[in-house]
Structure 1
Amino acid sequence: MGRPHQPPVGLAVARAARTLTRAFEDALAAAGGSQSSWLVLLQLKINPGATQKDLAEALELREATMTHHLSGMERDGLITRRRDPANRRVHQIELTEAGEAAFHRLRTAATEFDERLRAGVDPQRIAELGDTLATLVANVQHAENH
């Protein structure tokens, strides 16, 4: 007997991604942030003093989009921009005290969200999911390059 009808895998992944993204955004909003601010704060903890270009590349965003995010974060007092002494045209981005506090709040929210997602799921299945998603991405990238 054949398998019950299943939606195309791309559709199932897209639906799951939308649902999880909305829930993650809600969790971060409850902690006073957003996914974009969380990702910038996280990158700045990994790479203190990164440039706008560094951040845009790391987050796979256009520089104009990164400028928009950074302007809002600077207005909110989470980051400062200072000129690179070696290249006055380049700004290095650094966390402020408020940015450090926001990082810790959002890290807690992100960790708690991840724990909720993993609840009741065998770690082996989580590992298999990661492998499967990596394969799907590789398949798409391979198709785009050929």
Structure 2
Amino acid sequence: MPGPTHPPLGLHLGRTARSVGRAFDNALAEVGGSMPAWLILISLKSHQLGNQRELADAVGIRGATLTHHLNAMEADGLVTRRRDPANRRIHQVELTEKGEAAFDAMRGAAMAFDQRLHRGLSEEETAAFERVLDKLQDNISD
């Protein structure tokens, strides 16, 4: 029985995802950003999250990893952290003016990258692709 003429779907998807991910990382790096910084900044902006635990959950990373990224972002002047007066074990995280500017720069890079990804795709193709991605996610969530 002859084998398929194309790679297995999982392999093809994995290669494409890595390639797209690297290209997105490069687009963010061109404006001084990174994927972890982008995820943290967009979570702070869109969810108005106040503490590190909520932020770690929203970004999908472990607390220690988040702390590492927040330390670097705080050293760069992008965020501030302070203890919650009501619960000293909780750190409140806020964007600084420099963090707002970094968010704006990364948002511009992300939007330009998204337009690049959509190049040559119709709205119907994009919608169909999103449905396929959702089905693939459902297939592995069982």
Q: Is the pair's TM-score, using the shorter chain for normalization, greater than 0.5?
A: yes
Q: Equivalents in 2 of 1:47, 1:87: separation in Å?
A: 21
How far does residue 55 in structure 1 lie from its aligned partner after superposition?
1.1
**Alignment check: 8 A CA contact 2:80 2:96 kept:** yes
The equivalent residue for 2:141 is 141
Structure 2: give runs of 5+ residues left out of the alignment: none
Moved more, 33-42 or 129-138: 129-138
For each residue in 1:23-76, what CA deviation from the matched residue of structure 2 results, as whole angstroms up to 9, or x when unmatched?
A: 000000001101110110000001235211111111111111111111110111
Q: Percent identity?
A: 51
Output the amino acid matched with 1:134: D
The equivalent residue for 2:101 is 101
Q: Equivalents in 2 of 1:50, 1:133: separation in Å?
A: 32
The equivalent residue for 1:60 is 60
For each residue in 1:65-91, what CA deviation from the matched residue of structure 2 results, as whole angstroms up to 9, or x when unmatched?
A: 111111110111000001112211100
Output the amino acid matched with 1:71: N
What is the Cα-based RMSD across aligned positions, in Å? Answer: 1.5
Report whether the alignment pairs 1:8 with 2:4: no
Structure 1 segments, 4+ long, off by >3 Å, are: none
Output the amino acid matched with 1:65: T
Moved more, 59-68 or 46-55: 46-55
Report whether the alignment pairs 1:50 with 2:55: no
Q: Structure 1 length normalisation: TM-score?
A: 0.92
Structure 1: give runs of 5+ residues left out of the alignment: none
Q: Structure 2 length normalisation: TM-score?
A: 0.94
Q: Equivalents in 1 of 2:49, 2:21: separation in Å?
A: 28
For each residue in 1:79-114, what CA deviation from the matched residue of structure 2 results, as whole angstroms up to 9, or x when unmatched?
A: 000111221110010000000000000000000000
Moved more, 18-27 or 48-57: 48-57
For each residue in 1:121-142, what CA deviation from the matched residue of structure 2 results, as whole angstroms up to 9, or x when unmatched?
A: 1111111111111111111111
Q: Equivalents in 2 of 1:139, 1:47: separation in Å?
A: 29
Provide the secondary structure at the position in 1 that maps to 2:50: coil
Instruction: Count how many residue pairs are aligned between Structure 1 and Structure 2.
Output: 141
Q: Equivalents in 2 of 1:127, 1:94: separation in Å?
A: 35
